[in-house]
């Protein structure tokens, strides 16, 4: 049989209804965006808003819905663009037929986000017109053109991001310091560029450091500031542990600056990561006027380091084994019974061949011994204060040490000049002689640098000890009444460590060097 194909003609549908769709006005919205808050961009933003409002309302076949906009927002990610999100929501809800915008780069610089949004709107019959590229998304060529143009825009964004990153890293390498004033309390932008101290905010910073040195911890400081109605650096009313910890450990308050603490991982999402050695960091000393004295700042860091591994109990990390000098830790006895209780013992008691002979102790005993020792200290406080003041005068006498440091600094500078002179003459002297002289200068420089670092370290330690003793004296002077009760603030402020020996012999070591045996 011969294969035969029969064509079945389509049925003709006769309708008595007129097609009025062409007579219906299209509901049109405009979208404008600029990515920075600079003055020139502000004028561009205002111009876009005015232009599209007038352009849409001038068309008799269009009904103006509204202008949607995002000012000072980057286009690489949709999440923070509230105006854009509102526009898409209204379009999907059937309130818009057509969206007009300047260009694909104004709409989005992320290919995936751009195409996803276009396709989502296309499914519900909403068209987008990109004026610069003359692209209508419901046109058959529209999606191909959008893919090409969005890719180009994304590469442009990558190039801009790389340029900005390069610029920031170059500034860091050159020691140029910039930071966000909205997140750093105590500084403001200077009238002639750079930054300067904001005296009102600096008072809050000094208050925070003062509270910490008086025995308050970051949590309690946060509660005090919140209770007093003081605003955070970001303008919030409630302070957190992390904000206080950040202020207490920020080197900018002592006049220095650590650059490149974090870096951008993805130029599209703007995700940042803490720099843990992936990129070089740069530490700039004496970059600006300090709010907190260097010695006080260093003393605070020492206390923060001591408390870093402590548990919720204030004395954990200060109770020390007299046998191995390791820390006492908290352990639970009878954990599954009604006799459950906590005891403290040396963490190394049952580790290794040699067992520590120190006993376990209770929290009540630790607090009782601390209270007894502090009471004895306060009883003899006048004599102790006199001895401390004599020691303070000795520590204040740093003139000879500072002279030595200045001399070493001058010698280091002199060797640098000699090295530069030698390098400039490298082509005019014998190679062996040049190498010998250069190595000799390098060795002298390293030796002097070590001597300088050692002397400077001694000077800093004296200053730290001086500040610590002054703080100790101030607190001791304020203690008028003896109390048998345990005082957590006094313990944190005055006690350096509590040593436990065999037979429960106790030594309480205070931060001024005083030791009381119990």
3-state secondary structure 27-38: EEEEEEEECCCC
pLDDT value of position 64: 94
pLDDT value of position 20: 42
Residues 484-509: tens digit of each pLDDT: 667 777 777 778 889 999 999 999 99
Average of per-residue pLDDT values in the chain: 76
Confidence of residue 98 (pLDDT cuts 50, 70, 90): very high
pLDDT value of position 40: 45
The CA distance from 153 to 135, in Å, is: 15
Confidence of residue 19 (pLDDT cuts 50, 70, 90): very low
Q: Is the pLDDT confidence value at 100 over 90?
A: yes
The CA distance from 65 to 28, in Å, is: 6
Measured over all CA atoms, what is the biggest interatomic distance in the chain, rounded to whole angstroms?
127
Enter the tokens of residue 137. Answer: 């998304």
Enter the tokens of residue 407. Answer: 């001399």
pLDDT value of position 288: 77
The CA distance from 50 to 69, in Å, is: 12
Q: Do the Cβ atoms of 195 and 181 come closer than 8 Å?
A: yes
DSSP per-residue codes, 208-235: HHHHHHTT--HHHHHHHHHHTTPPPTTS
33-69 b/e with 16+ CB inside 10 Å = b?
bbbeeeeeeeebbeebbeebeeebeeeeebebbebbb
Confidence of residue 117 (pLDDT cuts 50, 70, 90): confident
Q: Which residues contact 516 (CB under 8 A, 6 or more apart)?
A: 373, 376, 377, 507, 508, 510
pLDDT value of position 28: 95
The CA distance from 111 to 147, in Å, is: 7
Average pLDDT, stretch 88-115? 81
In sign, the C-alpha dihedral spanning 283, 288, 290, 293 is positive
Q: Do the Cβ atoms of 137 and 143 come closer than 8 Å?
A: yes
Q: How many CA atoms lie within 13 A of 397 on its CB side?
A: 6
Q: Is the pLDDT confidence value at 515 over 60?
A: yes
Confidence of residue 67 (pLDDT cuts 50, 70, 90): very high
- pTM passes above 0.75: no
pLDDT value of position 486: 73
Burial class from Cβ neighbours inside 10 Å (0-12, 13-18, 19+) for residue 315 reads buried
Confidence of residue 249 (pLDDT cuts 50, 70, 90): confident
Average pLDDT, stretch 184-206? 81
Domains of the chain: 22-159 (3.40.50.1390), 189-255+290-307 (3.90.1750.20), 319-517 (1.10.287)
Q: Which of 342, 401, 367, 345 is nearest to 518 (CA)?
A: 367
Of 98-102, 352-356, 365-369, 426-430, where does mean pLDDT reach its minimum? Answer: 426-430
The CA distance from 94 to 112, in Å, is: 24
Enter the tokens of residue 277. Answer: 């050695």
**154 or 479, greater pLDDT:** 479
Q: Is the pLDDT confidence value at 514 over 60?
A: yes
Q: Do the Cβ atoms of 225 and 203 come closer than 8 Å?
A: no
Question: How far does Cα 370 stand from its chain's mean position?
Answer: 37
What letter would DSSP give residue 408?
H
Q: Do the Cβ atoms of 415 and 448 come closer than 8 Å?
A: yes
Residues 307-337: tens digit of each pLDDT: 654 444 556 678 999 988 888 888 888 767 7
Q: How many CB atoms lie within 10 A of CB 322?
A: 16
Enter the tokens of residue 61. Answer: 């076949």
pLDDT value of position 13: 47
**209 or 486, greater pLDDT:** 209
**168 or 56, greater pLDDT:** 56
Q: Is the pLDDT confidence value at 177 over 70?
A: no
pLDDT value of position 384: 72
Burial class from Cβ neighbours inside 10 Å (0-12, 13-18, 19+) for residue 99 reads buried
Q: Do the Cβ atoms of 452 and 406 come closer than 8 Å?
A: no
């Amino acid at each position: 049989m011969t294969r035969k194909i029969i064509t079945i003609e389509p049925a003709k549908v006769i309708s008595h209804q007129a097609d009025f769709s062409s007579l219906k006005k299209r509901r049109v919205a405009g979208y404008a965006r600029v990515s920075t808050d600079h003055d020139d961009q502000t004028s561009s933003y205002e111009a876009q808003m005015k232009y599209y409002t007038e352009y849409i309302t001038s068309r008799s076949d269009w009904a103006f819905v509204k202008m949607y906009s995002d000012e000072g927002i980057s286009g690489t990610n949709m999440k923070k663009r509230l105006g854009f999100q509102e526009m898409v929501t209204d379009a999907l809800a059937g309130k818009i037929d057509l969206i007009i915008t300047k260009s694909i780069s104004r709409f989005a610089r992320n290919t995936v986000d751009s195409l996803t949004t276009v396709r989502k709107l296309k499914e519900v019959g909403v068209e987008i017109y990109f004026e610069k590229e003359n692209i209508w998304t419901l046109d058959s060529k529209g999606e191909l053109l959008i893919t090409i143009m969005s890719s180009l825009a994304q590469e442009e964004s990558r190039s801009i991001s790389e340029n900005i990153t390069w610029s920031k890293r170059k500034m860091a390498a050159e020691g140029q310091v910039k930071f966000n004033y909205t997140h750093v309390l105590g500084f403001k932008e200077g009238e002639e560029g750079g930054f300067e101290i904001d005296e009102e905010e600096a008072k809050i910073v000094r208050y925070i450091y003062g509270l910490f040195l008086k025995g308050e911890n970051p949590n309690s400081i946060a509660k005090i500031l919140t209770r007093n109605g003081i605003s955070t650096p970001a303008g919030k009313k409630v302070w957190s542990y992390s904000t206080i910890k950040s202020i207490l450990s920020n080197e900018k308050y002592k006049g220095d600056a650590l650059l490149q603490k974090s870096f951008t991982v993805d130029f599209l999402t703007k995700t940042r990561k803490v720099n843990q050695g992936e990129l070089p960091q740069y530490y700039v000393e004496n970059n600006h006027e300090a709010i907190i004295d260097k010695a006080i700042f260093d003393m605070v860091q020492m206390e923060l380091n001591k408390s870093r591994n402590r548990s919720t109990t204030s004395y954990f990390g200060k109770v020390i084994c007299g046998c191995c000098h390791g820390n006492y830790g908290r352990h639970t006895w009878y954990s599954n019974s009604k006799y459950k209780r906590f005891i403290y013992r040396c963490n190394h008691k049952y580790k290794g061949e040699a067992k520590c002979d120190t006993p376990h102790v209770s929290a009540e005993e630790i607090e009782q011994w601390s209270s007894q020792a502090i009471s004895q200290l306060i009883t003899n406080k006048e004599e102790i204060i006199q001895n401390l003041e004599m020691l303070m005068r000795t520590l204040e006498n740093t003139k000879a040490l500072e002279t030595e440091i200045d001399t070493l600094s001058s010698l280091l500078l002199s060797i640098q000049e000699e090295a530069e002179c030698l390098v400039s003459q490298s082509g005019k002297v014998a190679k062996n002689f040049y190498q010998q002289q250069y190595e000799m200068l390098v060795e002298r420089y390293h030796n002097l640098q070590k001597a300088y670092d050692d002397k400077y370290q001694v000077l800093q330690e004296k200053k730290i000890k001086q500040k610590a003793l002054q703080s100790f004296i101030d607190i001791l002077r304020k203690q008028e009444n003896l109390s048998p009760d345990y005082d957590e603030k006094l313990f944190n402020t005055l006690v350096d460590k509590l040593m436990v020996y065999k037979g429960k012999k106790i030594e309480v070591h205070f931060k001024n060097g005083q030791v009381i045996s119990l």
